[in-house]
Amino acid sequence: VALPGERRHASKHRFFVVDLSQALFDFVIQLLPTAEEMAVKEDVRKLLERLIRTIEPDSRLLSFGSTANGFSLRNSDMDLCCLIDSDERLSASDLVTMLGDLLERETKFHVKPLPHARIPIVKLSLDPSPGLPLGIACDIGFENRLALENTRLLMCYAMIDPTRVRTLVLFLKVWSKRRKINSPYQGTLSSYGYVLLVIYFLVHVKNPPVLPNLQQMPPLRPISQEDTHMGGYNTWFFDDVELLCQRWHSSNTESVAELLIDFFRYYSRDFPYNTGVASIRSGLLKKENKGWQNDLTNGRYNDARERNRFCIEDPFETDFNVARCVTKEGLYRIRGEFMRAARVLAVRPRAIVALSQLCEE
């Protein structure tokens, strides 16, 4: 039998959690892109596609990243990928150079072609206008089919439990941007990395899980190697979400707020940063088994260590560490922010106060 003190404690906690969940919904809703912004972005995509077709008639320009997976915030950048459906095509770096010249001549975009980057892209930006008060930033890459697939995978995860998954992801994106820990160029983690951390947590850490593992579910019918592999990587996942939602129900009934509190607790206290790899495909792996440890016998000791401080396995490119840009200093700051957030929530302030403290710039 609970003592009166404990009962008061439990009911106070329940009240806090209900309140915080509601505040989280309200908070993210006002940060979603407007219908107008989405329409302008779609117009930009069509315009760019028309221009690219003057160079490569058999090309298509597709959205990926947040504009396509349902995790978009107001003024998110646009990630576009050009696919060319013909055998004789220019190399990505030639295309980047040619497209850069064309867009410079024909449009009002500021254009920056990067033909020699690891993945050649054209970077575009547009100054603010009435329809887009903050302008637009856009990257165009070529033949990045794996990125289209990982976008579709994240979208399927979002569709299984739209309220909890989208609220958590959108909140963490805003939080990480406001706390300045969402910048791979400055040694912290990309939005994509944070989304993978959320999915990993919901599939592999929560018990019972909030989400099933789409990459490990049995296919409905036999499929050939050809249909499941892309550039040597297995890209198969269960993508019939409608059917899945008829057959699979999570028995986890925690609210968004409870999940968020536990997310911060897990990543500030329990995730084994030194030895572990978060893999949404396979659960918790060991750096050692992936050759991602700090290899003392290797002459490239410093290099390997710098790249593998924090390890998040890409869902398809399993030899690729999505967090490889995170530096020692960056990881220290990220973990510090997880701890700070856990501390803010532990004292259960009023929900609005909690959110404004969490996202303080």
Residues lying near Mg ion in the complex (CB under 5 A) are found at 65-66, 77, 79
Chosen from ligand ATP, Mg ion, none, partner binding at 322 (C-beta under 5 to 8 Å by type): ligand ATP
Residue 150: contacted member of ligand ATP, Mg ion, none (CB under 5 to 8 Å, by partner type): ligand ATP
176, two tokens? 């990480």
Is there binding between residue 66 and ligand ATP (CB under 6 A)? yes
Nearer to Mg ion, 147 or 277 (CB): 147
Residue 218's φ and ψ, nearest 5 degrees, are -70, 140
State which of residues 79, 161, 258, 313 lies at the interface with ligand ATP (CB under 6 A). Answer: 79
Task: Supply the minimum distance, in Å, between the C-beta of residue 281 and ligand ATP.
Answer: 14
Contacts of 236 by beta carbon, 8 Å cutoff, 6+ apart: 215, 219, 223, 227, 228
Mark 281-320 with x for binding to ligand ATP (rule: CB under 6 A) and - for no binding: ---------------------------------x------
Closest CA to 337 of 358, 308, 306: 358
Output phi, psi for 91, to 5 deg.
-70, 155
By C-beta, is 65 or 212 nearer to ligand ATP? 65
**63 interacts with, out of Mg ion, ligand ATP, none, CB within 5 to 8 A per kind:** none
Does 200 bind ligand ATP (CB under 6 A)? Our answer is no
Between the alpha carbon of residue 359 and those of residues 31, 220, 338, the distances in Å are 13, 43, 12
What's the token pair of residue 28?
Answer: 């993210």
**Are the beta carbons of 67 and 78 closer than 8 angstroms?**
yes
Taking alpha carbons only, the member of 104, 93, 74, 102 closest to residue 141 is 93
Please report how close the Cβ of residue 73 comes to ligand ATP at its closest, in angstroms: 6
- Could you give the CA distance from residue 343 to residue 244 in angstroms, rounded to a whole number? 37
Question: Given the DSSP bridges, would you call strands 78-84 and 136-142 parallel, antiparallel or unpaired?
Answer: parallel
Min CB(37)–Mg ion separation in Å: 14
Q: Is residue 208 reached through a cis peptide bond, with omega within 30 degrees of 0 on the bond before it?
A: yes
Among 21, 27, 44, 65, binds ligand ATP (CB under 6 A): 65
Between residues 122 and 345, which has the closer beta carbon with respect to ligand ATP?
A: 122
Q: Which residues pair with 141 in a beta bridge?
A: 81, 121
Question: Nearer Cβ to Mg ion, position 41 or 287?
Answer: 41
Applying CB under 6 A, among 84, 136, 147, 211 the residue interacting with ligand ATP is 147
Among 63, 150, 255, 293, binds ligand ATP (CB under 6 A): 150
From the CB of 239, what's the least distance to ligand ATP, in Å?
16
The residue from 322, 334, 341, 355 that contacts ligand ATP (CB under 6 A) is 322
How, if at all, do strands 121-126 and 136-142 pair? Answer: antiparallel
Q: Which does 341 bind (CB under 5 to 8 A by kind): Mg ion, ligand ATP, none?
A: none
DSSP string, 260-291: HHHHHHIIIIIS-TTTEEEETTTEEEEHHHHT
User: Is residue 151 close enough to count as binding ligand ATP by CB under 6 A?
Assistant: yes
Tell me the residue type at 207.
N
**Chain positions contacting ligand ATP, by CB under 6 A:** 64-66, 71-73, 76-77, 79, 147, 150-151, 173, 190-192, 314, 322
